Structure 1
Amino acid sequence: MLLLLGLVSLGWNLLALPLLLLLPRPQGRAVGRAVIAGAYRGYWALARAVGLMRLEAQALDALRAEGGLVIVANHPSMLDALMLVSRLPASFCVMKSSLARNPFLGGGARLARYLRNDDPFGLLKRAVEDLRGGGQLVLFPEGTRTTEPPIGRLRPGFTLIARQAGVPIQTVLIETDSPYLGKGWPIWRVPPIPIVFHARLGRRFEPAPDTGRLLAEIEAYFRAELGAARTCESAHAPADDAGPAAR
């Protein structure tokens, strides 16, 4: 499945390069984002059809028509961005500058006007402009996949972007029953299948003048929500050894 996704990405990125020159910026951005979202939706549909993975993320559809929104989520798996963007065709992301030059991702990312992380001031300016124009910024504020469940420390930046743009912050909580493609998981290692991913909408936070305090509040919210979910799952999990009395 990952190989197929790579081939589709390579084909689209080769096509996206000439579109960068042919399409005006607004049209190119809309086409680029819609094609990426459609490709990822197709990936999830195929993965479900063959019984490998199942994505339960219908809750995100409620955000599709909303403009001007910073969407932040926890980051348990390498597939999280595919999950969110597949349901949000107007969304844009921040990418590592090395990925922006990747032949599998670069052309499509530039057409969709995704942001690079090597210019913090330019990133802030372009993110604010896009949000004020109705875009949706998808971010994983841990900065990397989760290494200390339920969530790592959140990096600052997104609360400042929300304040500058004057838009709310929508939290999304991602849960999965598998460590597949989490931090440290080898890409070639096959997990038990099917793998289930579930994304649900969390609390929405309004922008605030004190961005540091808002950051701490959002991090505490993620820890409480995800920690409670993990506790609930553990309480309902069957025991490995029920003991003689249960036999």
Structure 2
Amino acid sequence: MQKIIYIYRIAVKLFSFAFFGLCSLGLALGLFPIMHVLAGFSEKKFKAIARRFNHWYFKVFVNVMKTIRCISVNVENKEQLSNIKSKVVIANHPSLLDVVILFSLIPNADCIVKGSLIENKFISLIVRNLYIPNTIPFDEQMERARQSMEEGNNLIIFPEGTRSRPGQPWEFKKGAARFALYSENDVVPIFFGGNEKIGLRKCDKLLQYHPTERYQYNLKVLPQISAAPYKGVPMTKSAIKLTEKMKMALEQELSNV
């Protein structure tokens, strides 16, 4: 029976990936042109409409995965995300689905994405139209992120820069702190806990899954970290200190698990 359940979970995982890819392609090709018309061909209005739509799309996708028992999601202090604006949202990054779950929780989300995703035919139109690729000069990334947060959007970024390696200590880059300091916006840390995400971790194989249970995502929204104390401090020094504070907040939660 356990083997049959494992095969089922692999099947629903593959279905989820296919569902997401095909729906993303169809929505981008079919609905983005309509959104441009509804926005009066205003780029700013189009992005606002598209981000709101993407939030509901990701929410539906997460609910589909929950319904077919691929994942479970529990969020502690979820109410703190309901009305956030102009924040830098950071999180540890254990799995491939982390950004999907964050987008389903945060309606006005922007993101720094891998430039290679522009080459992905299923989501390339979404990435090109809405988000900030990490292949453009960093100064341009910071300015685009600042402008986006001025419009009330929240910037989602993983300080590790990539998914965590199982069993390895976290290595936080200073980029997330620099975005917060440059825009003078506070940081909202979110801790991803739950069971081991076998099959969704870095370097895992596609046909892998947790051997005994579905993926469990237990998130906790932590207290905001203010950028104000670092105002006037040289960027190099303040980015190091803020990065240490962000890492400490998430590591402390990890130690409590």
Decide: shared fold, TM above 0.5. Answer: yes
- Deviation track 1:19-45 (CA, whole Å, cap 9, x = no partner) reads 586431122111221222112111121
Unaligned runs of 5+ residues in structure 2 are 1-15
Aligned-residue offset at 1:150: 7.2
Do the aligned residues in 1 keep the contact of 2:75 with 2:221 (CA within 8 Å)? no
- Say which of 205, 228, 238 aligns to 2:225: 205
Aligned pairs for 1:103-118 within 5 A: 103-111=121-129, 113-118=130-135
- 1:235 is matched with none
1:197 to 1:77, Cα distance in 2 relative to 1, 3 A: same
Match of 2:208 in 1: 189
Seen in structure 2, the aligned counterparts of structure 1 residues 124 and 35 have a Cα distance that, compared at 3 Å, is same
Cα offsets for 1:176-197 (capped at 9, x unmatched):
2132301222122233432211
Letter in 2 for 1:215: T
Give 1:168 shift.
0.4
Which position in structure 2 is the counterpart of 1:179? 197
Letter of the structure 2 residue corresponding to residue 189 of structure 1: Q
Residue 151 of structure 1 deviates from its aligned partner by 5.0
For normalisation by structure 1, the TM-score amounts to: 0.85
Q: CA deviation at 1:100?
A: 2.2
What's the secondary structure of 2:222's corresponding residue?
strand
For residue 44 of structure 2, the aligned residue among 26, 37, 41 is 26
Q: Secondary structure at the match of 2:178?
A: helix
Alpha-carbon RMSD across the aligned residues, in angstroms, is: 1.9
CA offsets, 1:88-110, max 9 Å, x none? 11011111111023221121223
Deviation at 1:228, TM superposition (A): 2.7
Contact 1:146 1:182 in 2 (8 A): yes
Point out the more displaced range, 9-18 or 197-206.
9-18
**99, 112, 115: which one pairs with 1:81?**
99
The Cα of 1:66 is off from its aligned counterpart by 1.8
Aligned length: 228
Indicate whether 1:14 and 2:26 are aligned. Answer: no
Specify which of 136, 146, 149 is matched with residue 131 of structure 1: 149
Query: Contact (CA 8 Å) 1:12, 1:108: kept in 2 or not?
Result: no
Alpha-carbon separation, structure 2, partners of 1:150 and 1:38: 34
| Aligned: 1:99 with 2:117 | yes
Identical columns (%): 21
User: What is the distance in 1 between the residues matched to 2:33 and 2:96?
Assistant: 29
Report the CA distance shift for 1:168/1:36 in structure 2 as closer, same or farther (over 3 A): same
Contact 2:190 2:250 in 1 (8 A): no
Aligned to 1:69: 87
Look up the SS of the partner of 1:215 in the other structure.
Answer: helix
**TM-score, normalised on structure 2?**
0.82
- Which one-letter code corresponds to 2:248 in the other structure? A
- State the alpha-carbon separation in 1 of the partners of residues 61 and 180 from structure 2: 31
- The answer to whether the Cα contact below 8 Å between 1:13 and 1:103 also exists between their aligned partners in 2 is no
Worse-matched range after superposition: 75-84 or 125-134? 125-134
How far apart, in 2, do the equivalents of 1:149 and 1:24 lie? 47
- Residues 189-240 of structure 1, C-alpha deviations (whole Å, 9 max, x = no match): 23343221111111311112322111122212222221231xxxxxxxxxxx
Contact 1:60–1:88, Cα closer than 8 Å, also in 2? no
**Long gaps (5+) in structure 1:** 230-247
Letter in 2 for 1:214: L
* Structure 2 Cα separation of the partners of residues 160 and 51 of structure 1: 39
**Structure 1 CA distance for aligned equivalents of residues 167 and 107 of structure 2:** 29
Q: Distance in 1 between matches of 2:193 and 2:58?
A: 19
- How much does 1:144 deviate? 0.9
2:238 matched to 1:223? no
* Distance in 1 (alpha carbons) for counterparts of 2:197 and 2:63: 21
